[in-house]
Structure formats: C-alpha cells, structure tokens
C-alpha cells in the first residue's frame, strides 16, 4: 500500500524531492468503517499553501505525514451500511492507494450522470468556485466585459463559459498558444491573450477590452493583475480567487501596485474562500449540471495516469501543464 508523505517543506517551486513514497500495511476496516481504494486524485494549487506553516483557513500538512486532497475512491470492503462495496465516493482523503474511513465527510458519486473525475472538477469544488465566485462577487451583467486570468485552468475555463452564458464579452489570459486556441475555438471565449508571448500585456488587454473591464476574475495575481487594473471600469468588481503567480515566491512582491485606478474608478475588490458560500452549493451544483447536460458548459480535464505521478502532476500546475482540471487516475 503506497502512501505519499511530505518529506520536506518546499522552498520556491516544489520538486519531487519534497515528497516520499512509503510502503505501509494495508489497513483493516473496523465496525462502521469502509476500506477505500483511490481511483482519481485531485491536485490543486492551494495544496502549495498547506505545505508551508503560514496561518490559513486550513491547517498545514505535517512533515512525515501523508498529503491529502479531493479523491474519488471505490469502496472495496465495507462494515458500513451507507457505503456498500462497489460504491464510488468523494472525500478529502490521503494520498494512499488504500485507506479506511468511518464514512464521515464522504459523499456518494453517481458515475451514471458524469465521469467520476467530473466530481473533482466541473461538478465539484472547481465548478462551485468558478460559478459562485463569479456570480456572488463578480455579479456580471449581459453586455459587460469579463476578464479571467488562469483562463485555461480548472476554475478559469468554467468562469469564462459561465460568463458567456450570462451574455458577457469574455477575455481570457493564459500561458500558451494551444490554450488560446482551445479557449477561443472550443469554449467560445471572445478573445484570449498568451501572457508568455505578448510583449506588452497591458496594451494587449486594452485592445482586447475596448469598453474596459467590468469584472476581473483573478486566479493568478502579480503582474498580470496589475495589467488588468490599468483598464478597470468605474464600479468594476474584482474577484480575488487565487494568486498562483506568487505561491512559490519566497518574498511576495507588494501589490496591488496600481491601486489608484481602483480608487478613482470606485472598484470593488473582494476575496473569498469557497466555504463562504456553503449554503449555495446545492443550487449551484444543480445549475452547473444542467448547463453541462444542455451542452452550454464543456468539461475540460487533463488526466495523468499512475499513483506514482501524483507529485509530478501537482508540480506541473506551476508550469501550466494542464488544460482544465488536473486529475491523476490511479490504477
């Protein structure tokens, strides 16, 4: 039974040396417990924060202890009537091939509605983050211009599609020409900029947003966001979802550096963590599922194969190695 533990806290960009594979005895489920076999493992940028000791809304991982994330697992032995053998479940679980659970925090996954991995992405926390962050803070209206950074990622690719459904002009910012093409041709974004090949990103955003920016959904922070703030409209809404561009910095640059624009334009900037909107989860999931069914939203995921590749898949998030949700299929 392979288990991945945190071997050392990363300094800068994480490497494989920060993770250790241990061979542990396969646990035995007791009364009320189930034995779970991991099937699909979510890797997420926020896990980087849990590898530090910085104070946060969620406790840090401990060195020498298993890492954990959203995992779809199959019940392979059961002493719990709620979860029979063969049932697929979703939960915050350890990076282990096998583990026991008392069922607390597990939800059943209906693999007949969507692929199990969708529950880690569009039908899971990713879809909720995109939909609720955009609607509750961004409050987009038809005809407005919405800019989203990290546009080809798990959250960003859904934000753009939801904004299109609302009737907005959608401009994405992403890291490669292939991603630009995908977002424009497959997901219907109006314009997408490759921040790696655009010499003057501030000017390019101005050209892509002739009427300015009404909503900015920010997944990356840093200099990309500075460039967007230069074009912010009066009463614009800025949704602070993530700041992946600084997660690996050892000293974080100060910002926002063009905040005077936000003052002059009476803009609103608000951060959130998904649990802020917990009471809206059921209606949000229902809405997203309906859009999926109607073909208005497309599920995008990058699936890596093999338990041994979980750390690398996580590391690849920081060099843009994914389109849509990054998931590792274990078998």
Tell me which residues touch ligand NDP (CB under 6 A). Answer: 44-46, 126, 129, 150, 152-156, 174-176, 179, 219-220, 224, 241-245, 272-274, 317-318, 320, 322, 326
**DSSP summary character for residue 288:** H
Nearer to ligand NDP, 196 or 266 (CB): 196
Distance CA 145, CA 215 (A): 6
Min dist CB 152 to ligand NDP, Å, is 5
Q: Which residue has the tokens 């939801």?
A: 162
**Least separation in angstroms between CB 183 and ligand NDP:** 10
Q: Which is nearer to ligand NDP, 34 or 228 (CB)?
A: 228
Query: Shortest CA distance to 299 belongs to which of 187, 179, 131, 219?
Result: 187
Smallest separation, CB 125 to ligand NDP (Å)? 6
Q: Two tokens at 221?
A: 């922070």
Q: How far is the CB of 163 from ligand NDP (least distance, A)?
A: 15
Cβ atoms of 289 and 123 within 8 Å: the answer is: yes
Indicate the residue among 69 and 101 with the shorter CB distance to ligand NDP. Answer: 69
- Name the residue nearer to ligand NDP (CB basis): 262 or 274: 274
Least Cβ distance, residue 156 to ligand NDP (angstroms): 5
CA angle 232/234/238 to nearest 5° reads 50
Q: Would you say 58 or 142 has its CB closer to ligand NDP?
A: 58
């Amino acid at each position: 039974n392979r288990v991945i533990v945190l071997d050392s806290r990363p300094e800068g960009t994480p490497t494989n040396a920060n993770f250790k594979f241990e061979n542990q005895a396969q646990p035995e489920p007791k009364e009320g417990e189930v034995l779970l076999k991991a099937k699909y493992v979510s890797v997420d940028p926020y896990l980087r924060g849990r590898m530090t000791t910085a104070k946060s809304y969620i406790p840090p991982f401990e060195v020498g202890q298993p890492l954990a994330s959203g995992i779809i697992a199959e019940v392979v032995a059961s002493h719990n009537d709620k979860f029979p053998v063969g049932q697929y479940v979703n939960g915050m679980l350890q990076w282990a091939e096998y583990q026991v659970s008392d069922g607390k925090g597990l939800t059943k996954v209906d693999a007949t509605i969507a692929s199990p991995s969708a529950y880690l992405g569009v039908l899971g926390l990713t879809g909720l983050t995109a939909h609720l962050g955009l609607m509750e803070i961004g409050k987009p209206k038809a005809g407005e211009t919405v800019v989203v950074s990290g546009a080809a990622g798990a959250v960003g690719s859904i934000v753009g599609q939801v904004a299109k459904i609302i009737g907005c002009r959608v401009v994405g910012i992403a890291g490669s020409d292939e991603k630009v093409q995908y977002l424009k041709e497959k997901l219907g974004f109006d314009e997408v900029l490759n921040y790696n090949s655009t010499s003057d990103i501030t000017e390019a955003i101005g050209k892509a947003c002739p009427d300015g920016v009404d909503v900015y959904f920010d997944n990356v922070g840093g200099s990309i966001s500075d460039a967007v703030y230069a074009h912010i409209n009066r009463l614009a809404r800025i949704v602070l979802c993530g700041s992946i561009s600084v997660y690996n910095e050892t000293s974080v640059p100060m910002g926002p550096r063009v905040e005077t624009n936000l003052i002059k334009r009476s803009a609103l900037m608000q951060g959130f963590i998904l649990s802020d909107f917990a009471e809206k989860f059921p209606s949000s999931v229902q809405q997203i599922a309906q859009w999926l069914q109607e073909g208005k939203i497309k599920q995008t995921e990058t699936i890596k194969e093999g338990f041994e590749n979980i750390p690398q898949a996580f590391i690849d998030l920081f060099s843009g190695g994914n389109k849509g949700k990054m998931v590792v299929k274990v078998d």
